Structure 1
Amino acid sequence: MSNPPNPPTPEYESSLVVAERIESADGVAVLTLRHPGGEPLPEWQPGAHIDLLLDNGLVRHYSLCGDPGDRSAWRIGVLRVPESRGGSAYVHGKLHAGAEVRVRGPRNTFALRPAPRYLFVAGGIGITPVLPMIAAAEAAGADWRLLYGGRTRSSMVFLDELAAYGDAVAVRPQDEHGLLDLDGYLGEPDADTLVYCCGPEPLLAAVEERCRAWPSGALRVERFQAREREGTAAEAGAFEVVLSRSGRALQVEPGKSVLETAREAGVSVLFSCAEGICGTCETEVLEGEPDHRDSVLSPEERESGETMMICVSRSRGPRLVLDL
């Protein structure tokens, strides 16, 4: 008799009510979510995000941008994206005050590590995970600065809250200042400084390029879309995955992910985006060398090979043993 599949560790999931909705900037809706029965929400730390399970079948994750100490509410900011695949259009069109939405999480793949000094870089809606980070840095007595860019001043959210920090925040709308001066901001590597960046892909790529000279691990970024991946020889071939909890061995065929293969075999696995950007399906690697294809893990985490995102990552060898 085969062993029954192991259920994934449960996450908090509940229907929450949109208690407040504010059009805080051009194209940005800021939603405050509360439990309809007034129950406290799970704790979270700066950098965390939650999943919205939308009625149109889509799952989208949004960074929490409120106060981690306030367990009565979660706050998110959602940008209306003209080329939306349905997520932002649904939020902007359907989630008005009083509406209910199914929520799962929180989850944190962009955690703020302790440091004496921080440089934060945010582009557009990328300010959402950074906002609670700078509050935490301020409370910890750390030295920090924020460089915040956007298309126009009217498109940049939370300017009123950021104004309280004075000269520590540099607001640089592109129509007033041009592109962000990353060379001046990041030009001098510092072993005691961590750099956190969130925003559109061109900004992330530019910051990554400037931080190549910085100490290993100094830069952490969060992406809203999967990094463009190039095919590899490892991706073309089949490989075996052994599920350590049951001892089952599964063959992952070309063109199929570990996640798809496991689910087809009846293994219950938590997942969300299936694009390698949310971190939900992160799984411990017990043996073998993963071929990382995600947009979550840092270079150091990839090098360690301790975990992998099974929705997109594959194997560099013929066999992987996973904690599933």
Structure 2
Amino acid sequence: MVITASDAWIRAPRIYVENARGRDPAYEVTAEAVLGSLRSLCAPAELTCRFSDERDLPAFRRADILIAGRLDTALIASEARELKLIQCTSAGVEAYAPFDWLPPTLTLTNASGVHAAKVGEFGLMACLMLHEGVPEIASSQRRHAWNRRLRGVAAGRRVLIHGVGALGGAVAERLHGAGFRVTGVRRSGKPHAAIERMTTPAQFHDELPLADIIVLACPLTPETRGLVGARELAALPKGSGLLNIARAGVIDHAALTSSLDSGHLSGAILDVFEQEPLPAGSPLWDVPNLMVFPHVSADAPDGYVDRCLAILADNLARAKAGQPLHNTVDPQLGY
């Protein structure tokens, strides 16, 4: 999509905000928040805020900009003929692939990066827990078993991060600061200041035998679905740990369960699941040395919406100046 400074929608956009009823209030985008974020840039010609179960369809049809956490792609394709820009307030957009509903005149941007500070802290905490054997200690506690194992310091332990984007990069920075030795896997192979050695997905299997801990922070795409299965877990050193802050689909959970049951993997921490909340009857609750986190690694109770709207404000300023937008989703890559 080519945007020029002469476009009237940048100076006085018609904005439609769609919230999902029942979500945590931290994710609700209000008219006040939108106006506050854009005050120095433009005066919206129209601003409509609705929940998805009470849409204002005429306003939706007139909108130049859509702000939403969940996208109704069929509705967008059939009704949103004036849209130029969608600001999705979620970082993951794999649920909307394939992107055949997205015309070349419409740009989709996501919330990648808004989670970085929180997920960096969580990643450091989780890797320290895996190093210290906390998942095993928690399992022993449930069995009323005193299972004393001494651990050395974390400095020098080897962590492999698959997916060095905003989230993986934030984790790498925290781990590097704590003395971990970090290897990264990213499609571009571009270096990162906190990563000792960067590789590409083609070298992923070569790196597995060298990792004490593996961190999954990649987007879910056809290439990463089922990324870690029995073969990959077997390639990890005995006693290694695993953290998934990516998407549930990157791991074969049956293979993960088997590896934990056998003791080959010493512990795992999962923060993402195919169905959330994780059903009470899921066998994952009772897998030994597995810790279940209720998808809290990246989100904070305050400031989330403001950071999402800051992306929109920055992009409108960039559009006004005729510059490329940030956080654009590549339909071919899926993120």
Normalising by structure 2, we get a TM-score of 0.37
Structure scoring higher RCO (CA < 8 A, sep ≥ 6) equals: 2
Please say which structure displays the higher CA radius of gyration: 2
**Structure number having the greater helix percentage:** 2
**Structure number having the greater strand percentage:** 1
